[in-house]
Structure 1
């Protein structure tokens, strides 16, 4: 139970980054009277899907480097590589670090301050702390779960309870939330990137469960329990932050949260807000660094995890110094590209676990179909005029107007894949115990 609880706390903290602060808060601001309805859609992709992704990860088989390989010999490793690069040193880590500076330090700098120098100094300290914390990956879950998460939760609870003592500001509903509040909430949940990040964090929690002596069905139950703890905490915090947005005001989520903190805690409000942001960002970066360095060490074992950690920190530090605006410019295309394929992988892995038999075409066909449409959706989301006609084509598909043109074709492909598998592949899954190698990510026969 201790391992399950600590792993759940750590998983919550790894999921909960700065974007997780901003997105539900802005639902409270932009959805007006439809805020709670929109929040339901947000919980689908921001809470339920990441939890299911963790459970799906627990189905990893003996000798299988990663569950992503089930969607194809080429597409699977490509998806996993893109996930680790996007959630890791090329986007996720520098984005979170840059957000930490923009939301906690930048607001208190004076008019004559050298912002570029201040950002470089802050990021140097931020990444130095992260580097030292990840040097011993076997202690990472305990450090996050027992050390940082309780402090983060206390600060968040104080902010949320205070927000429930203030009357809603009566924000008007924006056009997107007025037309389709649930669908818009679902899309906002995409931007947490947590369903994708679960593919990254899965190895960290998996190794903690394995070190606790869990194998097979016991390991899967442990992963499900940790996912349930994290999901419950995420849902409560998200709903609380929606309420914060309903009572606050500002041009963006950071301003809204900062203003509410100042309203509730006076001159110490910015300090409280800065601590929340810094802790949320640090715990996420620790999880991403730990998982990503282990992944690249497994691919290139001749390079030690410590060297990979140095590479990750240096690359992320350089990119974070470009500033938040430039980093965020790539978020929409990345999400539209990776999420559909990742969702297909997760849902089929869960279906396979429920059916108790090995699936092949049920993995391949939905993933390939969704990948083709995801590429088109990602190109359209860049906003470049040359790709604008793709919107007309994508809208021909059911739900295409809601940016999920891939969904119905992928479901049709899943049905076809299941028919093919049941006709050609009678293999029943064995509940084989597995253990992990020293790199904490590669399972081998027990």
Structure 2
């Protein structure tokens, strides 16, 4: 079946919008602001974990066309089950509530002065309504919400760059590329890829999308992933560059608390680009971008547990309700507090997610169960010092990590995972020749 242009655009826009949430909008400008004249190098690192890896995750979904469970089943069914449960718990406990916190801090509180509890309650009630009507999710987000979000983002970026003096400050980062890579973790885009990719696949199965054949779905999802990735690249690069070029015009440290640095920097940029109307634009932009991401996370979580427990619609509804209640509870924290809580969690789960994505993109004759098991095990083991080093640093740990390349950048897992992949592949080839 030929893929219609309309279906391609709707799916591409929906993918972009499900990715693009609170962190995706608030993190890049501050990253650019602090990177100064190194903003290009920071952008390169950021793109690796916030664009390239997530889109490869969508490509892996296009190939597997299953659920998140399929990503880890070559390691073992037990591992995959534990991994899936962890991913979905993390998704509904951190990035989903973070969208409500960002919406409250930027769009709701400045205008109405209401409590975080009221904001998160109304917010997740609306999320629940959309999730329970999930057959309309792809169409609504793809046709209406995302084009509006993209137009407003491009307006803020283009006018902001045009009106800036194109002067940057001095970089605050010793290793700009590594900083960009780790900041990309905070977007949760790799986790988003494995979660919302399944949402896209399930949504395509509804009659209104009429895409049936495996090959047609694979082509549609891969093309949509590429287009969505291109959109993310343009927006991220634009937001980072705007933050860098406004670093000489805006002093966010003089009169603003650290908790609100990201929100206020983006607000200043919007006002500089669009005048006082920029406040309204930013409020609408944040609300829509965050809302669509929360829908994707809650729907993806409900889909997984529905499939896990006998394809029960009751399980889907109950899971969606529980995820929304958790969102209300965690959504009362401020945005910065949620980021701080997320860092050790991401240092643990993100490396495993990255290697699972990369291995699932490779041909099956290369990425065998042996390769999966050895690479994932080594990645897990070498991620532990990064987590411990962040939570409870000590001199004893430093003695160990000094011998691990890139460990000082919390990337100590990278080289060991690559080396064990090469060694395991060599052993595997030798075994085949016997």
Normalising by structure 2, report the TM-score.
0.89
Q: Counterparts in 2 of 1:267-346, with a 5 A limit?
A: 267-301=276-310, 303-346=314-357
Deviation at 1:151, TM superposition (A): 1.2
Q: Counterparts in 2 of 1:171-186, with a 5 A limit?
A: 171-176=168-173, 179-186=174-181
Q: Please tell me whether residue 34 in structure 1 is matched to residue 38 in structure 2.
A: yes
Q: Please tell me whether residue 245 in structure 1 is matched to residue 256 in structure 2.
A: no
Q: Deviations over 1:116-149 (max 9, x none)?
A: x532222222112211111122221111111210
Deviation at 1:152, TM superposition (A): 0.8
Name 2:258's counterpart in structure 1: none
- Report the CA distance shift for 1:63/1:338 in structure 2 as closer, same or farther (over 3 A): closer
Distance 2:219 2:56 in 1: 12
Deviation at 1:323, TM superposition (A): 3.5
Name 1:189's counterpart in structure 2: 184
Give the 3-state SS of the residue equivalent to 2:419 in structure 1: helix
Q: Deviations over 1:57-94 (max 9, x none)?
A: 22327799422222223332222211111112x22211
Q: Please tell me whether residue 122 in structure 1 is matched to residue 126 in structure 2.
A: no
- Report the CA distance shift for 1:180/1:325 in structure 2 as closer, same or farther (over 3 A): closer
Distance 1:229 1:191 in 2: 22
Q: Counterparts in 2 of 1:414-425, with a 5 A limit?
A: 414-422=421-429
Distance 1:318 1:161 in 2: 37
Q: Counterparts in 2 of 1:12-411, with a 5 A limit?
A: 12-60=16-64, 65-88=69-92, 90-108=93-111, 113=113, 117-168=114-165, 170-176=167-173, 179-211=174-206, 212-248=210-246, 249=250, 250-251=252-253, 252-301=261-310, 303-352=314-363, 355=365, 359-382=368-391, 384-385=392-393, 389-411=396-418
More displaced 10-residue stretch of structure 1: 145-154 or 302-311: 302-311
Normalising by structure 1, report the TM-score.
0.86
Name 1:413's counterpart in structure 2: 420
More displaced 10-residue stretch of structure 1: 392-401 or 283-292: 392-401
The question of whether the paired residues in 2 share the 8 Å contact of 1:134 and 1:140 is answered with: yes
Distance 1:155 1:342 in 2: 32
Deviation at 1:108, TM superposition (A): 3.8
Deviation at 1:325, TM superposition (A): 4.3
The question of whether the paired residues in 2 share the 8 Å contact of 1:4 and 1:222 is answered with: yes
RMSD: 2.3
Distance 1:332 1:62 in 2: 29
The question of whether the paired residues in 2 share the 8 Å contact of 1:168 and 1:246 is answered with: no
Distance 1:157 1:102 in 2: 22
The question of whether the paired residues in 1 share the 8 Å contact of 2:386 and 2:407 is answered with: no
Deviation at 1:209, TM superposition (A): 4.1
Distance 1:275 1:244 in 2: 20
Deviation at 1:266, TM superposition (A): 2.4
The unaligned stretches of length 5 or more in structure 1 are: 427-446
Distance 2:302 2:135 in 1: 13
Of 9, 12, 15, 1:8 maps to 12
Distance 1:235 1:46 in 2: 9
Give the 3-state SS of the residue equivalent to 1:352 in structure 2: coil
The question of whether the paired residues in 2 share the 8 Å contact of 1:46 and 1:192 is answered with: yes
Distance 2:348 2:83 in 1: 10
The count of corresponding residues between Structure 1 and Structure 2 is: 413
The question of whether the paired residues in 2 share the 8 Å contact of 1:30 and 1:171 is answered with: no
The question of whether the paired residues in 2 share the 8 Å contact of 1:337 and 1:375 is answered with: yes
The unaligned stretches of length 5 or more in structure 2 are: 254-260
Give the 3-state SS of the residue equivalent to 1:192 in structure 2: coil
- Report the CA distance shift for 1:21/1:62 in structure 2 as closer, same or farther (over 3 A): closer
Deviation at 1:189, TM superposition (A): 1.3
Distance 1:346 1:39 in 2: 21
- Report the CA distance shift for 1:380/1:424 in structure 2 as closer, same or farther (over 3 A): same
